[in-house]
Homo-oligomer: A and B are copies of this chain.
Amino acid sequence: MITAALPSLAQTLRHRRERLAQQADFPVVLWSGQPQSRNFPANTHPFRSSSHFLYFAGVPLANAAIRLERGRLTLFVDEATPAEALWHGPSPSREELAQQMGADAAYPLADLPQWTAEAATLPAMDAATLAAQQSLLGRLVGLVAEAEGHDRQLAEAIVQVRLCHDAGAIDEIRAAAAASVRAHQAGMAATRQAATEAEVRAAMEQVIMAHGMTCAYNSIVTTHGEVLHNEHYHHRLRPDDLLLADVGAEAASGWASDITRTWPVSGQFSPTQRDLYDLVLAAHDACITEARPGVEYRDLHLLACRVLAEGLVDLGILKGQPGSLVEQDAHALFFPHGVGHLLGLDVHDMEDLGDLAGYAPGRSRSDRFGLAFLRLDRPLQAGMAVTIEPGFYQVPGILQDPARRERYQGMVNWERLSQFADVRGIRIEDDVLITAEGCEVLTSNLPSAAEAVEALVGG
């Protein structure tokens, strides 16, 4: 087969397989997964293929598996029966699918058992596929964190291959980012006419859906940004509220984006909102300025903490030396999460592998209040995509916790803090591609400066 004649997707996939083969000299079988029932068997959640399958197979097939060995791809999938074609319409033949992905061979699923001996794998997300894996491989397939032998080596190899993105991946992330930018613009524009969070969310997700994409994760669109994993949308919008929207598109190919903006419902930040918004933005901008190959992502996180601590001291909310405050995790009272994560086929890329992707070999999560939630601790490399997403939150569970209040009693000016009660949560998040020279903000079409945000809301 002449490589130059391959279509672009097949060529990209061939290159990925070859990179994997350099890391793993044993056979690998990866399953795509199958649809999961919502409330009765035929009513399923929209199907999402396994990210590992998508990375090497490129096509979001359900009920399929691939075998990878020494750069060769063998596809296992059943063709639609006449009855299925009748209800679901025409679908590509096995041969057409094999050609799309540049497979070397393709067989019905019934042939798969002959090809699984000694194969390494990763556990499927859905229980039915996991059961099928275990049955075919004749062994348990457990959590990657506890995997041994070839399964463990496979997980490590895949991390090496998927950590830095090829041109095909970057094109797809760019497309998802572009749709996400338009979704945020639509959300800002819809806010002043909207009565509820749900209406703004709907305006945003409409844009993503109109692009033929899905949401990469359950959207957060809330006036209660202090609830970090907020998936409720029922609050009415009040003119004094800030609205925090963390909404990202996923391309049909599975590649994700992840954007957060925070804007004033009225179109005008109050002075206190503006002070804290500008501070979060300063932390965000500082990280982006410093992001380049060789820089430790953990140091970007600590840079964000430092900028926030300095600003909070300047505003009179924190008391003390910023460096010392960060060492004591005082910043984490207001910024209790990490500054971001890997971005790829998963919005938290490869989080199904636990911390294997996020943490460099030999590193593990800190116990420190200000570091425990950091999802990424590796030196940056060209081709990595990461988010940069500092924030400021007044989380009652943290600020009213008696133990924390006692520990940080002398470091917080609680009276001064009470003047910022109209800020419950602010986060500013962009998607950043590390390049040879530094970095490129893939979501830079969406402004983050306070005035520009106000203009988009239409104050």
| A contacts, CB < 8 Å to B | 36-46, 48, 50-51, 82, 85-89, 125-128, 196, 198-199, 201-203, 205-212, 217-218, 224, 226-234, 254, 336, 345-348, 350-352, 395, 397-398, 401
The complex places the Cα of A38 from the Cα of B38 at a distance, in Å, of 12
Q: Given known contacts A203-B206, A348-B43, A397-B86, is B127 in contact with A128 (CB within 8 Å)?
A: yes
The complex places the Cα of A401 from the Cα of B82 at a distance, in Å, of 10
* CB nearest neighbor in B for A353: B40
The complex places the Cα of A207 from the Cα of B232 at a distance, in Å, of 17
A45-B45, A87-B228 provided; 11 other pairs, C-beta below 8 A?
Answer: A37-B125, A40-B348, A40-B352, A82-B401, A85-B397, A126-B127, A127-B127, A196-B210, A202-B206, A202-B207, A205-B206
Number of copies: 2
Chain B residues with Cβ below 8 Å from A227 are 87-89
The complex places the Cα of A337 from the Cα of B37 at a distance, in Å, of 22
Task: List the 7 closest A-B pairs by CB distance, nearest first.
Answer: A127-B127, A89-B227, A202-B209, A86-B397, A202-B210, A206-B206, A40-B352
The complex places the Cα of A136 from the Cα of B209 at a distance, in Å, of 42
The complex places the Cα of A224 from the Cα of B89 at a distance, in Å, of 9
Chain B residues with Cβ below 8 Å from A352 are 39-41
Asked if residues A210 and B218 are in contact (CB atoms below 8 Å), the reply is no
Q: Given known contacts A39-B346, A43-B348, A82-B397, is B230 in contact with A210 (CB within 8 Å)?
A: no
The complex places the Cα of A165 from the Cα of B150 at a distance, in Å, of 56
19 A/B residue pairs, CB under 8 Å, sorted by A: A36-B45, A37-B125, A38-B125, A39-B48, A39-B51, A40-B351, A41-B125, A82-B397, A86-B228, A86-B336, A88-B227, A89-B227, A126-B127, A196-B210, A198-B211, A202-B206, A203-B210, A212-B233, A212-B234
* CB nearest neighbor in B for A212: B198
* CB nearest neighbor in B for A395: B86
Asked if residues B46 and A218 are in contact (CB atoms below 8 Å), the reply is yes
* CB nearest neighbor in B for A398: B86
Asked if residues A38 and B44 are in contact (CB atoms below 8 Å), the reply is no
